[in-house]
Amino acid sequence: MKKKFVNENKTETREALIENTIRKHADMIYRIAYQNTGSTADAEDILQEVSIALVTKNAPLENEEHLKRWLIRVTINKCRDLHRHLKVIETEPLEDHEDIPADEKGEIMEELQQLPEQYRNIIYLYYYEQYTLQEIADIMKKSINTISSGLQRARNQLKRVLMEEGYSYG
């Protein structure tokens, strides 16, 4: 007999819940992986690895928000694992990729790629996934003060990069 899970007032099998979760969060996982790796192929591989982890690990399927945070944490960890295993990562200029996911607000992915990984993740989670500083601190397992100062540093670095690229602030 298959175990049933309660999800948003519906009872689903574990397999159906996992399939729905992957469909719902695949774009987010891909975007996080892409902004960490700068490669569509690596982002696709990480999406697949996170999907496998969702199936094989003890993911928190009962709570949607906890599950989303778990997926973000696993995605970031998989990106770090990739960086650890590759001594030298060769990247391609973003101009070569016309299939970069676009954001309604107008992404500045190329400039974001110039920031250190820790800052990219904070900016991405804060502005694109709209997490609070406390939620980001919980996800990244850091203090809220570390995240707050990281966000400030990330903004300053991103502003410098954008100004170098010809954007003006007034």
Q: Would you list the DSSP string of 52-111? A: HHHHHS---TT-HHHHHHHHHHHHHHHHHHHHHH-SS-----GGG-S-PPP-TT---HHH
Nearest one of 118, 156, 114, 155 to 137, comparing CA atoms: 118
Decide: pTM greater than 0.85. Answer: no
Q: Along the 170 residues of the chain, how does pLDDT read in single tens digits?
A: 444 444 454 557 888 888 888 899 999 999 999 998 888 999 999 999 999 998 888 788 788 888 899 999 999 999 988 877 664 434 444 344 343 344 434 457 777 888 888 888 898 888 888 888 888 998 889 998 999 999 899 888 888 887 787 766 54
Query: What pLDDT shows up at residue 159?
Result: 82
State the Cα–Cα distance between residues 65 and 74, nearest whole angstrom: 14
45: its two tokens: 């591989």
Instruction: State the angle between helix axes of 14-37 and 64-85 in degrees (0 to 180), rounded to the nearest 10.
Output: 50
